[in-house]
Chains A and B, each alone.
Chain A
Amino acid sequence: MRLLERLWGKNPYRKSDKKKKGTSNYAYAVTRVRAMKSKLLPKETYPRLLNMGIDEITRFIQESEYKNDVDELAMKYSGGDLAEHALNRNLALTYDKLLRITSGELNYLITAYLRRYDIWNVKTLLRGKIYNASVEDILESLISAGEFTYTFLSELAAKATYQEVIDTLKETDYYPLLQEFDGTNLAYIENELDKMYYSSLFAAIGKPRSKDRKLFARFIKLEVDVKNLSNLFRLKKAGVEKSDDIMPLMIEGGLELKPEKLASLPYEQFIDELRKTQYWDAISSVAGLETASLTIVESRLIRYYLESATTYSHVSPISIVPIMDYIIHKNNEVSNLRIIFRGKEASLDDTLIKDQLVVI
């Protein structure tokens, strides 16, 4: 009898806890996401796209996975704007779909991850309001993939000043930080928002006990490393070598890099130190002393990040990793297409556009 009591619940919370958490149904979510990943544009597409004009690219996109989005928005916008809106809309809908097809822990972790788009939107809104961008221009850059809905974001975009935007965000977690914003310290606020995102993400993961959370934590740490590393490259190139200047810009919680150690080193020693890390193989051919272009280093790093996500998704096939892998690959595809569009619009040289693309 005591055994039965223990099983069925002297503790009234036990059952409800379990119910709330739910199961994650990995088999379904992961295969569906893998099928979605197979529909991403193959790498052979990009050279072809580079040879096309803007209208041709729009037509190409209209015939691909972005068809519905282009069709729906074609009445309102045209040219590059149409593509930009369609891409953003598609990204938001795709991520929304991921949230719909997952449940339990998987859903919880993805929701936490996608809050980055809330941060992105808040940043865009503040920037737009400071530089007096038109509502249309701001709307163009908003991606409603996080917790804020598109309607709410449009309302925010229609506000007259940044102060009103901040006041409307009173109920959110970002408000205490946003209060510090006085119209001049945008860079500081943006950095702090990013840091806040990562610390809240690590808080959401908690002390990783389940296999999923461990993999997810590792994944995020790798991303933090890649971000820190590209920032370090930029800073070192610009000749910033004081640890006090660099450390406030670094995100805590990386996997392998130790920013506090790397920050004070001059460029050559910094490179020597990097040789010991797993990132060296990815950037060794371009990170020599005489390299001029940071974009190539950065795109190599992003490529390394994407590739290692794919490798991990093969190592742990029934876990959160294939889904994260899809999320970042989709994001990469959208940003590639955006680069091509904007590059073509500004009539940049094809090689210049090509350097910016991260093609896997």
Chain B
Amino acid sequence: MVGEELVGGPFLDADGMKALGAALAITVTGLASAWAEKEIGTAAIGAMAENEGLFGKGLILTVIPETIVIFGLVVALLINSA
């Protein structure tokens, strides 16, 4: 296995790998949803500047990518508890 010499070695044991995996899951999804929310957020602001009534819709659409990071969080928790 690749990285076999690392696992159980002095630097990284199985728990360390798990922690790293969990960290990766939450980091990448966090960045991804931030990027998506940035795009949608600016668009929503643009629409709201013209029509304040769009505030509700804009807010909902803006937080939808939040699901990505929630999935990341779930995966991270699963990895940690496994």
B51-71 with Cβ < 8 A to chain A: 51, 54
Whether A31 lies near B51 (C-beta < 8 A) is: no
Is B40 among interface residues, defined by CB-CB distance under 8 A? Answer: yes
Question: In whole Å, how far is A112's beta carbon from the nearest beta carbon of chain B?
Answer: 23
B36-59 with Cβ < 8 A to chain A: 39-40, 42-47, 49-51, 54
Whether A35 lies near B42 (C-beta < 8 A) is: no
Is A178 among interface residues, defined by CB-CB distance under 8 A? Answer: no
Whether A34 lies near B40 (C-beta < 8 A) is: no
Whether B46 lies near A30 (C-beta < 8 A) is: yes
Interface stretch (choices A21-29, A278-286, A291-299, A303-311) = A21-29
Whether B43 lies near A27 (C-beta < 8 A) is: yes
A147 to B6, CA, bound (A): 66
Residues of A contacting B: mostly:
helix
Q: Which residues of B contact A29 (CB under 8 A)?
A: 46
| Nearest chain B residue, comparing its CB with the CB of A37 | B50
**How many pairs of residues, A versus B, come closer than 8 Å at their CB atoms?**
34
Q: Which residues of B contact A101 (CB under 8 A)?
A: 46
A31 to B49, CA, bound (A): 10
A32 to B44, CA, bound (A): 8
A39 to B50, CA, bound (A): 9
Q: Give the size of the chain A interface in residues (CB under 8 angstroms).
A: 14
Q: Which residues of B contact A30 (CB under 8 A)?
A: 43, 46
Question: In whole Å, how far is A171's beta carbon from the nearest beta carbon of chain B?
Answer: 36
Q: Give the size of the chain B interface in residues (CB under 8 angstroms).
A: 12
Question: In whole Å, how far is A317's beta carbon from the nearest beta carbon of chain B?
Answer: 11
Question: In whole Å, how far is B45's beta carbon from the nearest beta carbon of chain A?
Answer: 6
A226 to B45, CA, bound (A): 36
A36 to B51, CA, bound (A): 9
Whether B42 lies near A28 (C-beta < 8 A) is: yes
Q: Which residues of B contact A25 (CB under 8 A)?
A: 42
Whether B46 lies near A28 (C-beta < 8 A) is: yes
A25-54 with Cβ < 8 A to chain B: 25, 27-36, 38-39
Whether B42 lies near A27 (C-beta < 8 A) is: yes
| Nearest chain B residue, comparing its CB with the CB of A33 | B46
A237-289 with Cβ < 8 A to chain B: none
| Nearest chain A residue, comparing its CB with the CB of B42 | A28
Q: Which residues of A contact B39 (CB under 8 A)?
A: 27
Whether A36 lies near B50 (C-beta < 8 A) is: yes
| Nearest chain A residue, comparing its CB with the CB of B50 | A35
Q: Which residues of B contact A33 (CB under 8 A)?
A: 46
| Nearest chain A residue, comparing its CB with the CB of B49 | A32
A35 to B45, CA, bound (A): 11
Whether B45 lies near A28 (C-beta < 8 A) is: yes
A36 to B49, CA, bound (A): 10
Q: Which residues of A contact B47 (CB under 8 A)?
A: 31-32, 34-35
Q: Measuring CB to CB, which residues of chain A are less than 8 angstroms from any residue of chain B?
A: 25, 27-36, 38-39, 101
Q: Measuring CB to CB, which residues of chain B are less than 8 angstroms from any residue of chain A?
A: 39-40, 42-47, 49-51, 54
Identify the 8 closest CB pairs spanning chains A and B, nearest first.
Answer: A32-B46, A35-B50, A27-B43, A31-B46, A28-B42, A31-B43, A28-B46, A31-B47
Assuming A27-B43, A32-B47, A35-B46, what are 6 further A-B pairs, CB within 8 angstroms?
A27-B46, A32-B46, A32-B49, A35-B50, A35-B51, A39-B50
